[in-house]
Structure 1
Amino acid sequence: MTALIETRDLTLHMGGQEVLRDVNFALNPREIVTVVGPNGSGKSTFLRSLIGAVRPHSGKVTRKPGLRLGYVPQKLALDPSLPMTVARFLSLPDRIPAHMCAAALAEAGAEGYADRQIADLSGGQLQRVLLARALLNLPEVLLLDEPTQGLDQPGQAAFYRQIEEVRDRLGCAVLLVSHELHVVMSASDRVICLNGHVCCEGHPEVVAQAEEYRALFGTGTGGALALYRHEHTHSHDHDHAHEGCDHA
């Protein structure tokens, strides 16, 4: 299978400091991969390197030629006092037809939001609008940087179910940076744990039992992991490549 995005021995610096070293990674078509790790572990920097916003200090990032990317940032830097409808926001910087706006909003679970003011949206509603914006160009890879920060657990779970439905309908791959592993894991095909390097990676249940993961996150997420599990249309075997957790 040809990877959509791949890194080889990727090392990233920010402000003269090394934040990630020697990361080898590949994202395959239709795969949902969640990246977890403590604050300052390099998660967001890694994501930004994949879209070309951060240049590697060493190693390289390879993307499939012509790859269409959709990106949902961690937060939206928008003046809340600025009057702007959702439709106008989706048309920045280039105006898009109303039917494309409506289709993207429907895909993101935000049907009927077009005429609402951005400033009037709740946190969860705004995240769905940001998702709609990322879906406008029908991405082959959808990248999301902690998209549910500030949402309660039901809101997080609903948003991640939406992401899984988007993947199933559009056939895109998803790369998700998360700080809430216990909600995310049930929708993920693979989890990568970062802390300056790849601590461990593999199927969610494998990572959840890994000593490296437990050292970073503790052991109290097992019940919630089961609570948020829901039916999948496909299954993944536990003996895939990269299963298990090893120190980099």
Structure 2
Amino acid sequence: MRDIAPPLIAVRNLGVRIGTLDVLRNVDLEIHPGEIVTIVGPNGSGKSTLVRAIVGAVRPHTGTITRSPALRIGYVPQKLHIDPTLPITVARFLCLPTRRTADQIAGALNTVGLPDLHKRQMSALSGGQMQRVLLARALLEAPDLLLLDEPTQGLDQRGSAAFYHQIEDVRARLGCAVLMVSHELHVVMSASDRVICLNGHVCCHGTPEVVATAPEYRALFGTGTQGALALYRHTHDHAHDDDHPQPGHHHEDHAI
């Protein structure tokens, strides 16, 4: 049913040139309502440039990016540096630049699993808490599409797994689509509906199982992630007795 709806984002023959360097060339992709799509690729492959082009921060050299009418985008950056001497609470931060009601702030913090943090100083947050606050801020925009550019950089494996599980919960509760860039291949394979492997162009794409076995993917990353995927699937399938398990729920200690 998802593929029947028009795409939220349609990228056609996209090329981005920075100086004399063609960072991206001939990139085609679509993001449909409600799906989680992850972009993977080696350093310098153009992953962040693609995200910046989608949000309009980078101008394409060739091709087009078509957004659905009135598309609302929420953006979660890699990290945010805040002066530790700056006295600003979580609630105050969430009101920048648009003032929010107490109910809106409480709702966003509850959605990301931080219901009691509104009075906490931003400088006192852990890395994982900071990323969830940034996620809450993005959710205040009521996004149709949530963009995340390597949002767990600097978190340990358990913290990364917990954050991406939170993303799955957000998608389930709000119905928004998610496009994320990640270097954590084991998390990608457990949390995504589709994976796009990028190396200046789209090398391969499809379900995690399809991409993990693609020759182009293995040429870049080897075969280790396929083992992580198999181990995740085995753990996941045996850890739940209900008919609708939550993806990613038992994999943080087993990923390779």
**Given the alignment of the two structures, is residue 176 of structure 1 paired with residue 180 of structure 2, yes or no?**
yes
Specify the code of the residue in structure 1 equivalent to 2:193.
D
CA distance in 2, matches of 1:146, 1:233: 28
Unpaired stretches in structure 1, ≥5 consecutive residues: 235-248
Q: Distance in 1 between matches of 2:230 and 2:84?
A: 38
Aligned residues: 235
Could you tell me which residue of structure 2 aligns to residue 245 of structure 1?
A: none
Q: CA RMSD in A?
A: 1.7
**Could you list the per-position Cα deviations for residues 19-43 of structure 1 after superposition, in whole angstroms to 9, with x for gaps in the alignment?**
0101111000101000000111000
Cα pair 1:157 1:184 within 8 Å, conserved: no
Q: Which residue of 2 aligns with 1:12?
A: 16
State the AA in 2 paired with 1:119: S
- TM superposition shift of 1:228: 4.2
Normalising by structure 2, what TM-score? 0.87
Identity over aligned pairs, percent: 68
Q: How far 1:233 sits from its partner (Å)? A: 4.1
Instruction: State the one-letter code of the partner of 1:136.
Output: L
In the alignment, which residue of structure 1 is the partner of 2:41? 37
Match of 1:108 in 2: 112
Determine if the alignment matches structure 1 residue 93 to structure 2 residue 97.
yes
Structure 2 Cα separation of the partners of residues 40 and 79 of structure 1: 29
Q: TM-score, normalised by structure 1?
A: 0.90
**How far apart are residue 136 of structure 1 and its match?**
0.1
| C-alpha separation in 1, matches of 2:100 and 2:60 | 34
2:43 is aligned with 1:54: no
Match of 2:77 in 1: 73
Deviation at 1:76, TM superposition (A): 0.9
**CA distance in structure 2 between the partners assigned to 1:227 and 1:80 by the alignment:** 41
**Cα distance change of structure 1 residues 233 and 70 upon mapping to structure 2, 3 Å threshold:** farther
Question: What CA distance in whole angstroms lies between the structure 1 residues aligned with 2:45 and 2:34?
Answer: 26
Q: Distance in 2 between matches of 1:149 and 1:99?
A: 30
Q: Take 1:77 and 1:156, find their aligned partners in 2: how far apart are those partners?
A: 19
The structure with the largest helix share of the pair is 2
Q: 1:153, 1:183 within 8 Å by CA — same for their partners in 2?
A: no
Q: Which amino acid aligns with 2:26?
A: D
Q: Is the CA contact 2:47–2:181 (under 8 Å) kept in the aligned structure 1?
A: yes
1:186-225 to 2 correspondences below 5 Å: 186-225=190-229
Specify whether residues 138 and 227 from structure 1 end up closer, same or farther in structure 2 by C-alpha distance, changes over 3 A only. farther
SS of corresponding position for 1:221 = helix
> How far apart in 2 are the matches of 1:41 and 1:81?
37
Task: Using the TM superposition, name which of 103-112 and 133-142 deviates more.
Answer: 103-112
Q: What are structure 2's unaligned runs of at least 5 residues?
A: 246-256
Separation in 1, partners of 2:170, 2:158: 18
Separation in 2, partners of 1:97, 1:15 = 44
Deviation at 1:156, TM superposition (A): 1.1
| 2:82–2:123 Cα contact (<8 Å) kept | no
Q: Distance in 1 between matches of 2:86 and 2:131?
A: 18
